[in-house]
Structures are given as structure tokens and as C-alpha cells.
A and B are shown apart, each in its own frame.
Chain A
Amino acid sequence: AQSVTQPDIHITVSEGASLELRCNYSYGATPYLFWYVQSPGQGLQLLLKYFSGDTLVQGIKGFEAEFKRSQSSFNLRKPSVHWSDAAEYFCAVALSGNTPLVFGKGTRLSVIA
């Protein structure tokens, strides 16, 4: 079955430290890939997306993600985390054609001083 896996349920990092959130998918073809962020009590906001081309994509708030076809991964990174980055992060994929987004279960990020 097609699926999206975020292996880390909860990650804690120190402010100023680097961050990497993992996302793996299992689809036959290369899907369209997204990262969303959700602050407490809020809806989801798109951080970045990959459709094709350069496998390193830049997003908002200083985030970037790298698509690695050989590993079926689309990991999210940030070189220096700020306290305001504490939130839940969701990886999502969509296939071409009439198929909706499928989400991973999310990774909750905590930031400590």
C-alpha cells in the first residue's frame, strides 16, 4: 500500500542547533512532495514543495528539503532552529492525476533554550 512514514514522533533540539526531520514514502513513481507546519491550535501552512527539477528545495522560514530518489526520502532541514519553530511538522505526498494528499503522522518539534 502507498504510504508516508515519518519515523520520529517527537524531536527535541536546542535553540540554535541544526534540525533534520525525516520523511519516507512508498510509491511506484516519484510523487509530488510537501512539508507542512502546524502551530498549536492552527491550521496547516505549506513550508515547501517538490515537483521536479533541482532536488534541493528552499522554503519559507529558512527551511529546506532534499529529495533523494534512491532512498525514497524527502527530509526537511534547518541549519539553526529558533524557539518559534516549535510546532508539528507533516510530510505529504500526492500522485499525478486525481489523487489527494496523503499525510504522514507528523513529527512534533520541541525547542529548548
Chain B
Amino acid sequence: DAGITQSPRHKVTETGTPVTLRCHQTENHRYMYWYRQDPGHGLRLIHYSYGVKDTDKGEVSDGYSVSRSKTEDFLLTLESATSSQTSVYFCAISDSSNTEAFFGQGTRLTVV
């Protein structure tokens, strides 16, 4: 597996609380992505980064923010978690935007 670590792997949180998920890579890849996976929807892009401090929105970015202050770390923040954000979140990395992406093991987030 590529050197990608997601933390935490599981989290239960209450509605309205802030939550931050971390993705850490040891591959020095330029691109990092956050996807969410929900039954019947496949993987949908939340945000991505194409360099330190360079980020852009994906298909389902509402309610989420990201930060990338170092090449190796990409943080996903839910400012005020809602039940609709209960999902499995995957981080991915790639050398460039059109080569294969390598995925982390996922974070299962439950908002109650």
C-alpha cells in the first residue's frame, strides 16, 4: 500500500460539533483528495489539493473545508456536523491529476 494514513479510522460525534479528519502521506505526492462514499452514490469528491495551500472544491463541498499547510498532510473539517455527513471518508493521493490515485483505508464517521 502507498504510504497513506487516515486518522481517526472510526469516529462517532454529535450533531453540531466540529470534526477534523486527517490524511497523512509519506509519498511526497502533489495531489491529495477527499472523497465520501455512500451506498448508491459511489465515491464523490469533496475537496482536493494540488499543492501546499492550493485547494479546490469538488462535487459535494458544502459543509466541508480543507487545509493543506504541508505536502504530507491534508485535513478535512466539518464545521458543524450533520447527520447527512454520516459516511465513509477516503483520502487519496496522486502524482498528477491524471495518473492513478492511491487510497487510504477510510474513516467511518457517524453523526448522531
Query: A residues near B, CB below 8 A?
Result: 6, 9, 32, 34, 36, 42-46, 49, 51, 90, 94-106
Do B97 and A103 have beta carbons less than 8 Å apart?
no
Q: CA of A106 to CA of B41 in the docked complex: distance in angstroms?
A: 8
Query: B residues near A, CB below 8 A?
Result: 1, 31, 33, 35, 40-45, 48, 50, 58, 90, 92, 97-106
Given contacts A43-B105, A100-B58, contact A32 B41 (CB under 8 A): no
Do A102 and B45 have beta carbons less than 8 Å apart?
yes
Given contacts A32-B98, A42-B105, A43-B103, contact A100 B31 (CB under 8 A): yes
B102 contact set on A, CB distance < 8 A: 46
Do A100 and B42 have beta carbons less than 8 Å apart?
no
Question: Can you give 23 contacting A-B residue pairs, CB < 8 Å?
Answer: A6-B42, A9-B40, A32-B99, A42-B106, A43-B103, A43-B104, A43-B105, A46-B102, A51-B98, A90-B43, A94-B98, A96-B98, A97-B98, A98-B50, A98-B97, A99-B97, A99-B98, A100-B31, A100-B48, A100-B58, A101-B45, A104-B42, A105-B40
A97 contact set on B, CB distance < 8 A: 97-98
Least distance between B63 CB and chain A CB atoms (Å):
19
Given contacts A100-B97, A101-B101, contact A44 B41 (CB under 8 A): no
Q: CA of A36 to CA of B103 in the docked complex: distance in angstroms?
A: 10
B104 contact set on A, CB distance < 8 A: 43
Least distance between A91 CB and chain B CB atoms (Å):
9
Q: CA of A49 to CA of B102 in the docked complex: distance in angstroms?
A: 13
B1 contact set on A, CB distance < 8 A: 43
B42 contact set on A, CB distance < 8 A: 6, 90, 103-106
Considering the complex, give the chain A residue whose CB is closest to the CB of B106. A43
